[in-house]
Amino acid sequence: MITAGIDIGSITTKAAVMNDSGLLDLWVIPTGFNARQAGEEIFEQIICGLGLNPSVVGGVVATGYGRKSVTFAQKAVTEITCHATGVYYLDPTIRTIIDIGGQDSKVILLDESGKVRDFAMNDKCAAGTGRFIEVMARALHVELDAFGPMSLQANNPAAITSLCTVFAESEVISLISLGESRENIIAGIHESIAARIIAMMGRIGWRPPVMMTGGVARNIGLVQSLQNRLASPVQVSKYAQATGAIGAALLARGVGFSR
């Protein structure tokens, strides 16, 4: 059976297609201003890229903030459930998930069967999210892909006292005017985000092993800050950005769908 999962996030839209043998392909595109169009576009691209007819897809599940805009999906499922399902598929030993997306961050605790035991979520503001990091990168005139590696070169991380995007940007500008290095400022930003995530983890009683998902997982500097504070490894799969889409495709195996 061939199934598809579509994860429409605030910044990127991800799609995964699976069959009985496992993962067939993954795609990632910018979401843009129209979530419905992004869902339709990525489904068409990944199916055409595989040389398949849409009619052979036996189930489609949508997730992410724009999941309800995917009108051709059989079912819409929360990111928490889809990330738990995707992580358990990638590594069934994982007990805690850190998922940092474009506009929110989550910590999810799993049991031995991969079911969600508890979770904590920050969805009230952009603090510590991918959007927050994008704003900080622009303020520092640093390419987003360079943000993580540059922070590893810091010798004395700067103190960033606020994670409110507006106030933190003002802090960064002040630190620049004082001559602080960009490396130290970036490291300080990562330390502030890590502290916030650790506090969320403490609320649900996290357990190792830990895996980080979402596009921000590609930021090696933040991953390192989290590992240092936890004194425990934080695993990052090569499928980190598309873990939710993989989980959605797995869940689609149980919904049956006729396009």
> Is 120 strand, coil or helix?
strand
Contact assessment for residue 80 and residue 116, using Cβ atoms and an 8 Å cutoff: yes
Secondary element (H or E) of residue 188:
helix 182-204
More reliable by pLDDT, 257 or 58: 58
Residue 111 sits in the same domain as residue 65: no
Given a contact cutoff of 8 angstroms between Cβ atoms, the answer to whether 40 and 32 are in contact is no
pLDDT at residue number 125 = 64
Residue 236 CB burial class (10 angstroms; 0-12, 13-18, ≥19): middle
β-pair type (12-19, 22-30): antiparallel
- 158-to-5, 69, 78, 99, 226 alpha-carbon distances in Å: 41, 41, 36, 25, 16
User: Is the per-residue pLDDT at 40 higher than 90?
Assistant: yes
Closest-CA residue to 189 (of 177, 172, 205): 172
Strand partners for 163: none
3-state secondary structure string, 1-32? CEEEEEEECCCEEEEEEEECCEEEEEEEEECC
Which amino acid is present at 226? Answer: L
The amino acid that residue 164 corresponds to is C
Q: Are residues 21 and 31 in the same domain?
A: yes
Are 99 and 87 contained in the same domain?
A: no
For residue 73, how far is the Cα from the chain centroid? Answer: 21
**195 Cβ contact partners less than 8 Å away, ≥ 6 residues apart:** 229
pLDDT in the model for residue 258: 32
Summarised one tens digit per residue, pLDDT across range 138-168 is 999 999 999 999 999 999 999 988 777 778 8
pTM of the predicted model as reported, rounded to 2 decimal places? 0.92
pLDDT 10s digits, 95-132: 999 999 888 899 999 999 999 999 999 866 667 788 88
Q: What is the CATH number of the domain that holds 141?
A: 3.30.420.40
Let me know whether 5 and 66 are in one domain: yes
24-30 mean pLDDT: 97
Q: Round to whole Å and give the CA distance between 238 and 233.
A: 16
- Give the pLDDT score at 131: 85
pLDDT of res. 124 = 61
Euclidean distance between CA atoms 81 and 239, whole angstroms: 17
Same domain, 247 and 189: no
| Residue range(s) defining the domain that contains residue 158 | 93-236
What was the pLDDT predicted at 183?
A: 97
pLDDT score at 168: 82
Quote the pLDDT of residue 166.
Answer: 76
Share of the chain above pLDDT 90, in %: 81
76 lies in the same domain as 202: no
**pLDDT for 257 beyond 50:** no
Domain shared by 86 and 104, yes or no: no
Residue 254 confidence (pLDDT): 79
Name the more confident of 126 and 259: 126
Residues 162 and 229 in one domain: yes
Q: What is the mean pLDDT of residues 181-196?
A: 94
- φ/ψ of 108, rounded to 5, equals -125, 130
Count of the separate structural domains present in the chain: 2
How far is residue 102 from each of residues 129, 166, 231, 234, measured CA to CA in Å? Answer: 6, 16, 26, 20
Q: How far apart are CA 174 and CA 192, in angstroms?
A: 17
Rounded Cα distance between 133 and 136, Å, is: 5
